[in-house]
Amino acid sequence: MTQKTFTVVGGGPVGTLLAISLARHGYKVGLFEGRPDSRQTNIYQGKSINIALSDRGWTALEKLGISAAAKNQAIPMHHRAIHSVDGDLSELPYGQSGDAIWSVSRGGINEQLLDIADAEANITTQFEHRLVDIDFASATTTFATNSGDELVVKADFAFGADGAHSKVRRLAHNVPRFSYSQTYMPQCYIELNIPANADGSHKLDKNALHIWPRKDFMLIALPNPDGTFTCTLFLNYSGDVSFESLQERPAVAAFFESNFPDAMEYLEDPVDTFMEKTAAPLFLVHVFPWSFNRKVGLIGDAAHAIVPFYGQGMNCGFEDCAELDALITQYDHDWEQIFPAYESARKPNGDAIAELSKRNFVEMSDLSGDSKFQLRKKIEAKFSSQFPELWTPLYSMVTFSPEVPYSEALRMGDEQNMVMEKIMALPNIEDDWDKQYVMEQLFSLASETLGGGK
């Protein structure tokens, strides 16, 4: 049998993981990235861009036997550290004892995957090759190089793994019956920094995701191995308190000092940074189909760009790769069947995690600082530990249960929410929450609503 060929557009983490998976199935893969090689040129401009990798991402990496090296540079975060305006600190565990999400450097994990790709005989990687055109009928791609030349690449199949601003996806707008929507969130963001102590240690608890929830906006901080924290300020683009309204230095200083007083002793020049930076937008992308003519597919953010509030963007993209990897085996390399099977398996889950991610902004920025919400989480955790077969909290389903599809987690989370609304409406719930009658009532409601298990 002639060796089939693939072009993968986009050498980020998802595109590189996809290339490795395809190569190990015996395909010859050309991996093309528009930017320079980050291992030789700092394309991240000195920023340590973090992502939260959880069980879905690790499971996908483990299926390809490559998670151990990535975990060496990752920091486990076992809980949310909630910073109130008056400086009080509370903790919200992410799940059961030992559960953690992991702070990893996007660039670091990308470089580890590129090193693995370099060792694969079936992969040829080309940097500084920018996609110009793609033929969706033949999978032929055209790239422009920095020298001004054009390279035409013929392949049997192609995948667009070129991220939230995917050029492959933009070119697909010319394909008949291609549905596309892009929705902007009210919030934009800028990155800030907390430097390390003089001895290289962290100024805050390094095994937590720190959140300063302020209802319509919030600041978060994720730890880096070098003792620093990468911070992100999420704030409305327009309105009374927004990037648009905060233009003058005194107003920006007052904003930080009144809303984040305990963070001010740690943040590195937050007012100057705010004044210098342009806020980046947050948006979601929904498209259909995800494949064209059984020749070209979309994967990762190119297929389902989401907002970062559930920390699932890269996890979802890695899960796409794992699903595709399994389908190649299941359908014995028959891409007439693989493309539609991949699309029908992943599209509902991409839509579900997009919806969950939007909702989680409210949980992080508003509810996480609310005492009643924290009590609700404690009740759920206690009930789940007593009846794990009946109740897995939504966050744990999404983050620590890769066997539960995102779409199923969304459905069950909505049902759980109806149950918990009734429990939180019980008289004296604040005083009686850990009494046996509450657990009995919850058991009765859960058994009736959830049908006895997940």
Classify residue 393 by burial, with Cβ atoms within 10 Å: 0-12, 13-18, 19+. buried
pLDDT score recorded for residue 44? 55
Domain boundary assignment for the chain: 5-74+105-181+283-360, 182-281, 370-450
pLDDT digits 0-9 by tens, 379-431:
998 999 899 999 999 999 999 999 999 999 999 999 999 999 999 999 999 99
Helix (H, G, I), strand (E, B) or coil at 5: strand
Q: Which of 143-147, 214-218, 362-366, 395-399 has the lowest mean pLDDT?
A: 362-366
Distance CA 9, CA 31 (A): 6
53 — alpha (psi -120 to 50), left (phi > 0) or beta? beta
- Residue whose structure tokens are 């494949």: 291
Q: Please tell me whether the overall predicted TM-score, pTM, comes out greater than 0.75 for this model.
A: yes
The model's confidence at residue 49, banded by pLDDT at 50, 70 and 90, is: low
* Pairing state between β 296-298 and 291-292: antiparallel
Distance CA 402, CA 58 (A): 9
The model's confidence at residue 451, banded by pLDDT at 50, 70 and 90, is: low
pLDDT digits 0-9 by tens, 2-41:
789 999 999 999 999 999 999 999 999 999 999 999 888 8
Q: Regarding the domain delimited by 5-74+105-181+283-360, which CATH topology (the fold level of the hierarchy) does it fall under?
A: FAD/NAD(P)-binding domain (3.50.50)
C-alpha triplet 346, 348, 350: angle, nearest 5°: 65
The model's confidence at residue 64, banded by pLDDT at 50, 70 and 90, is: confident
pLDDT digits 0-9 by tens, 70-111:
788 899 999 999 999 998 999 988 878 788 999 998 888 999
Distance CA 349, CA 344 (A): 9
pLDDT score recorded for residue 78? 94
pLDDT score recorded for residue 46? 44
Distance CA 454, CA 443 (A): 14
The model's confidence at residue 68, banded by pLDDT at 50, 70 and 90, is: confident
Position 69 pLDDT exceeds 80? no
For 197-232, give one letter per residue: b (16+ CB within 10 A) or e.
eeeeebbbebebbbbbbbebbbbbbbbbbebbbbbb
pLDDT score recorded for residue 47? 47
